[in-house]
Each structure stands twice: as C-alpha cells, then as structure tokens.
Amino acid sequence: MDALRQTTVIPVEDPSQVAVARRGATELGVRAGLDAMQVGKLEIATVELANNLHRYGRKGALLINAFDDRHILEILAVDHGPGMANPAECLRDGYTTGSTPGLGLGAVKRLSQQMDIYSQLDKGTVISARFSANGEGPREADRESNPPGVICSALKGEDFCGDRWADRWFDDRHLYLLVDGLGHGLYASQAAELAIEVFLASKTASPTEIVDSMHVALRSTRGAAALILAVDRARRRITSCGIGNISASLHRDAGPTQHIVSHNGTIGHQIRKVAGFEYDYGPGDVLTMHSDGLSARWSLTDYPQLRAAAPSCIAGVLYRDHSRGRDDATVLVTRLG
C-alpha cells in the first residue's frame, strides 16, 4: 500500500516519542511536497502537539496523514485525557499551562492552514491541523483541493494495511471508495490495491459498473469488501453500490440518520446481486464511511456538537472510541456542501 495513503500512528506516552513524532512528520511533509518554510512550521506544531499529549493526555497518539496528490500534510493529536473546559481559550496565541517551544496551541493554529479542536471533559481531546505546500488554506472554487477527514491504519504489528480508500472527480460527480481486502496483511493489501487501481482508471461515474469491473479484476486475489459512493452536488443526491461489510451513513442536519445499504458477498469471489441505491441529502449533512475495523455501535448524537467539528476531528473521535483493535481500521468523513 502507498504509505502516503496510510495513516502513520505514533503513540506518545514518554518524552522520547516526541522526537520520533517530529521526525515522522518531517519525512512525510517533505514527501507531500512542503517546502522548507512549511516543514519548519510543521516541526514546531508537531513538537507542541506531542508535548501536550505526553504531559496532559492519556493513551495519547499522533496520527499523520500525507495527501501527496494535494500536497497537504495533516496531524491529529488524539487522547483519552481530562479534556478542555474551554477549547477557545486554549487556542489563544500564547496561552499555555506549561513551558513548550511553540507557546501553546495558539501557535499550532497560527502556523497551520486549518485547525480544529473537539474536546469533552473527562473523555479526551482530538486536535487536527493541516499544512499545505503553498501555505494557503483550501479555495472554495478549487473542488479538489480539500481532502476528506480520513484515518486508515494497519493492524498493530502489520507492515501492510488491507484497508484502502480513494476519492476522485468524474465530470460533476465526486466519487468515494472504501475497500477492505479480506483478512489483513500483504494479500489483503494486494486485493485492496487492485480495487483502487480499477476505481481510479474507470471511465464511468456509475458505482455499479465500477463494482462489476472490480469483481472481474479481483478474481485472482483473496477478494474484498467495497463501497462506492457517487455524490452529485448539483442535485444533492448520492448513488451507491456496496458489497460486504463496509458501513456508511448520512448524518442529517435535520432528520434521522440514513444508513446506506450494502449487499452480502465478496468482490472477486461471490456476488449475488449488484444494485445501486439513491439517497438525497441536504447542505451540511455529514457523510461517514468505515470498515469493520470500527464498531458500528455509535451515533454522532452521543457527542455534543461533534457534527459541527471539522471532518478530521470527527474521524479522530470515531477512531479513538470505536476502533476494535483486532483488524485494519479505516474511517472517512466529509461534510456535504
């Protein structure tokens, strides 16, 4: 699997891991195309976040994503610590309860192009910060500039991740794919990788046609579960096709959560039915997708104000609280305009 599509997870529970986190972020930042100035800012922010995890968090970890095609590096600081009574105050530049090189979380906000915090007292905090090669935030007119919030991590101890994700535009449709190769490890990764190749090379926006092509291509592999969503933002409609246990839901700004249907089967081996479904959505609705490495027993309503958080923070909270820990785990979150 391309390391730039896999989340690097660095536990931060002792001071030595702060340096490990800084080196990891620097290496991925360079690979994502950040220049020396942006890498310098990234290093300061990484040390700040890692020090905070060590000092105040419990079971803290730094999660690093490099979106090489968009030249963006993202850091998530995730912990089970005491939480923040007033996150807005903690973001004030210069605010700190300890002596750290960047003078507090305000420095992370100032140095990054996008930042958000979600925190609950006695439950923990998730902080997301993004750094771009040009030092600018995403432009609304550039539809491809801003990646979704994603965590895609391999089972602990594995070198290869059997989960994978991708998104792309086809004409006026925004397509999302989440794929889970059967099992985990190298052979699961190979199946998922081939599914990604089919998805990216497809000449159609039809999820059912892409799944049909995947089924033929994956016959020589151990197979996979996959879900494809085609989002028509002009019509505010989603077309889906899923095979296997990939979960997806529309968390509506007004109304109940809509769960997206998948059929039983394994792509590449046995599919009883390939059928698409359509769902309407409203502006501001939140779309989530995740593999079975996360439990499906959760609701955004369990987390006050989480729907309003950045998609990366939402992904971080779900990963932190609902990862099973016995399989590869991927969660993708995007807010629909």
Give residue-wise pLDDT tens across range 189-236.
999 999 999 999 999 999 999 999 999 999 999 999 999 999 998 999
- Tokens for 95? 């605010």
**Residue that has been written with the tokens 């997708």 in this structure:** 289
Q: Which residues contact 201 (CB under 8 A, 6 or more apart)?
A: none
Q: Is the pLDDT of residue 336 over 50?
A: yes
Give domain limits for the chain: 3-132, 149-335
Query: What is the pLDDT averaged over residues 132-150?
Result: 75
196 vs 110: CA distance, rounded Å? 36
Contact 242, 248 (CB under 8 A): yes
* Residue 181 phi, psi dihedral angles, 5° rounding: -65, 140
Query: What is the pLDDT averaged over residues 106-122?
Result: 93
- Tokens for 105? 């979380």
**CA angle, residues 199, 129, 39, in degrees to nearest 5:** 90
Q: What is the pLDDT of residue 35?
A: 94
Q: Is the pLDDT of residue 9 over 60?
A: yes
282 vs 236: CA distance, rounded Å? 7
What percentage of residues in the chain have a pLDDT greater than 90?
77
Q: What is the pLDDT of residue 162?
A: 95
The CATH homologous superfamily to which domain 149-335 belongs is PPM-type phosphatase domain (3.60.40.10)
* Residue predicted with more confidence, 254 or 304: 304
Q: Is the pLDDT of residue 71 over 50?
A: yes
The one-letter code for the residue type at 124 is G
Query: What is the pLDDT averaged over residues 148-154?
Result: 96
Query: What is the pLDDT averaged over residues 228-245?
Result: 96
Under the banding of pLDDT at 50, 70 and 90, the label for residue 136 is: confident
Window from 10-19, 285-294, 312-321 with minimum mean pLDDT: 10-19
Mean pLDDT of the chain: 91
Mapped onto helix, strand or coil, the DSSP state of residue 261 is coil
Q: 331 - beta bridge partners?
A: 151, 290
CATH number (3.90.650.10, 3.40.190.10, 3.40.50.150, 3.30.565.10) of 3-132 reads 3.30.565.10
Q: What is the pLDDT of residue 118?
A: 96
Query: What is the pLDDT averaged over residues 38-50?
Result: 95
Query: What is the pLDDT averaged over residues 318-330?
Result: 95
Query: What is the pLDDT averaged over residues 145-166?
Result: 92
List, in sequence order, the alpha helices (H) in 32-141: 36-56, 87-90, 105-111
Q: Which residues contact 47 (CB under 8 A, 6 or more apart)?
A: 18, 21, 22, 100, 101, 102
